[in-house]
């Protein structure tokens, strides 16, 4: 599933092709991928508008069109936004085609959970699930104090708390497991048991791991590709995610694989306390 580093990489690779480019035609191949509008109404609403820029909030992309309209794209499990410089025949799982002045953008999704929502820009945060998201982990407002405050008095495992997008935006299974490994904290610990020092370490680890993920253009463990169809390379730097049963890269002990917060969780019982 694309997490913050993957969605940020899609944003960066897509915006360079589409900034200030006009949308000339929309093809809704699987209209259910678009929520909130009837097919014809959506086509009329978006056709002829220019893409101004693309922002990101958590795992959501915000495609800013002129006249104060935003397309919120959520990739969920396997959603992709691909840019093609020339006409491209839709693939089996392409659901929406944006034909631009220059090139095309295809929204495709094998699992069909991804969605595109059109919303007036002033209502972006009040009229959608974006308004309830926790802080952006790479912004300066995100401090160890904020992390502590977001955990509050919750009686959750640290794993469950970090997966909760209302606590902190953008993390999923890969970057939660990697952040906890780097911080040396066991995923089964309750958030209410963390010391000040552990909160500091965790805050730093989250920022380090996300930044390293962006620098490597994301993790292409399964389906993820950037807007140019390229894979990321962060899977080479993974310490725990996807490595259950293999030796810890730090101490050599076999990594534990457990089920926690409904997700497969891998950690080193020796390095993470
Ligand atoms: Zn270890």
Q: Are residues 174 and 112 both part of a single domain? A: no
Catalytic member of 11, 52, 56, 59: 59
Q: CA neighbours within 13 Å on the CB side: how many for 248?
A: 19
Torsions phi, psi of 239, nearest 5?
A: -95, -35
Q: Are residues 78 and 198 both part of a single domain? A: no
H-helix segments, 91-157: 144-151
Q: Are residues 68 and 114 both part of a single domain? A: yes
263 is catalytic: yes
Q: What is the whole-number distance in angstroms between the Cα of residue 202 and the centre of ligand 1?
A: 17
Catalytic member of 2, 5, 135, 137: 2
2 is catalytic: yes
Q: What is the whole-number distance in angstroms between the Cα of residue 253 and the centre of ligand 1?
A: 6
Q: Are residues 109 and 161 both part of a single domain? A: no
The CATH number covering residue 174 comes to 1.10.8.50
Domain count, the chain: 2
Q: What is the whole-number distance in angstroms between the Cα of residue 262 and the centre of ligand 1?
A: 23
User: What stretches of 101-153 adopt beta strand conformation (E)?
Assistant: 104-109, 115-120
- Partners of 80 in beta bridges: 108
What is the C-alpha separation between 211 and 170, in angstroms, rounded?
A: 12
Q: What is the whole-number distance in angstroms between the Cα of residue 219 and the centre of ligand 1?
A: 22
Confidence of residue 139 (pLDDT cuts 50, 70, 90): very high
59 is catalytic: yes
Q: Which helix (H) or strand (E) holds 40?
A: helix 39-46
Say how many residues make up the chain: 273
Cα–chain-centroid distance for residue 73? 10
Model pLDDT, residue 8: 98
Q: Is residue 228 part of a domain?
A: yes
What is the C-alpha separation between 164 and 189, in angstroms, rounded?
A: 16
Q: Are residues 50 and 167 both part of a single domain? A: no
5 is catalytic: no
Match 């693939």 to its residue by tokens: 91
Catalytic member of 3, 8, 104, 178: 3
Match 């809704």 to its residue by tokens: 28
Q: Is residue 139 part of a domain?
A: no
pLDDT value at 30 more than 90: yes
Q: What is the whole-number distance in angstroms between the Cα of residue 271 and the centre of ligand 1?
A: 4
Q: Which helix (H) or strand (E) holds 29?
A: none
Q: What is the whole-number distance in angstroms between the Cα of residue 272 and the centre of ligand 1?
A: 7
Q: Are residues 124 and 172 both part of a single domain? A: no
Q: Is the pTM of this model over 0.75?
A: yes
Q: Are residues 125 and 155 both part of a single domain? A: no
Model pLDDT, residue 193: 95
167-210 per-position pLDDT tens digit:
999 999 999 999 999 999 999 999 999 999 999 999 999 999 99
Measured between its terminal Cα atoms, the distance across the chain in Å is 27
Q: Which helix (H) or strand (E) holds 26?
A: strand 21-28
Which of 112, 132, 152 delimits the end of a domain? 132
Model pLDDT, residue 3: 96
Match 């010391």 to its residue by tokens: 195
216-270 per-position pLDDT tens digit:
999 987 778 999 999 999 999 999 999 999 999 999 999 999 999 999 999 999 9
215, two tokens? 């620098």
Model pLDDT, residue 262: 94
Task: Residue 80: give the domain boundaries.
Answer: 4-132
Q: Are residues 205 and 255 both part of a single domain? A: yes
82-137 per-position pLDDT tens digit:
999 999 999 999 999 999 999 999 999 999 999 999 999 999 888 778 999 999 99
């Amino acid at each position: 599933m694309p997490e913050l580093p993957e969605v940020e990489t899609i944003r960066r690779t897509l915006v360079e092709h589409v900034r200030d480019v006009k949308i000339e035609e929309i093809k809704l191949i699987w209209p259910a991928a678009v929520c909130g509008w009837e097919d014809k109404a959506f086509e009329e609403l978006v056709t002829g508008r220019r893409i101004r820029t693309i922002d990101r909030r958590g795992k959501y992309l915000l495609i800013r069109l002129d006249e104060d309209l935003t397309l919120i794209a959520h990739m969920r499990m396997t959603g992709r936004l691909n840019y093609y410089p020339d006409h491209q025949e839709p693939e089996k799982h392409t659901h929406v085609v944006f034909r631009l002045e220059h090139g095309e953008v295809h929204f495709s999704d094998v699992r069909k959970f991804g969605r595109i929502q059109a919303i007036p820009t002033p209502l972006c945060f009040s009229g959608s699930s974006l308004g309830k998201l926790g802080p952006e982990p790479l912004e300066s407002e995100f401090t160890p104090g904020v992390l502590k405050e977001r955990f509050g008095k919750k009686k959750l495992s640290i794993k469950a708390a970090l997966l909760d997008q209302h606590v902190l935006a953008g993390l999923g299974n890969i970057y939660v497991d990697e952040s906890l490994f780097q911080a040396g904290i066991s995923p089964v610990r309750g958030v209410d048991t963390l010391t000040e020092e552990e909160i500091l370490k965790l805050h730093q680890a989250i920022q380090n791991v996300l930044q390293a993920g962006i620098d490597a253009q994301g993790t292409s463990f399964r389906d993820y590709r950037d807007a140019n169809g390229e894979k990321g390379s962060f899977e080479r730097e993974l310490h725990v995610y996807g490595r259950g049963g293999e030796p810890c890269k730090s101490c050599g002990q076999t990594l534990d694989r457990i089920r926690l917060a409904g997700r497969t969780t891998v950690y080193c019982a020796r390095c993470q306390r």
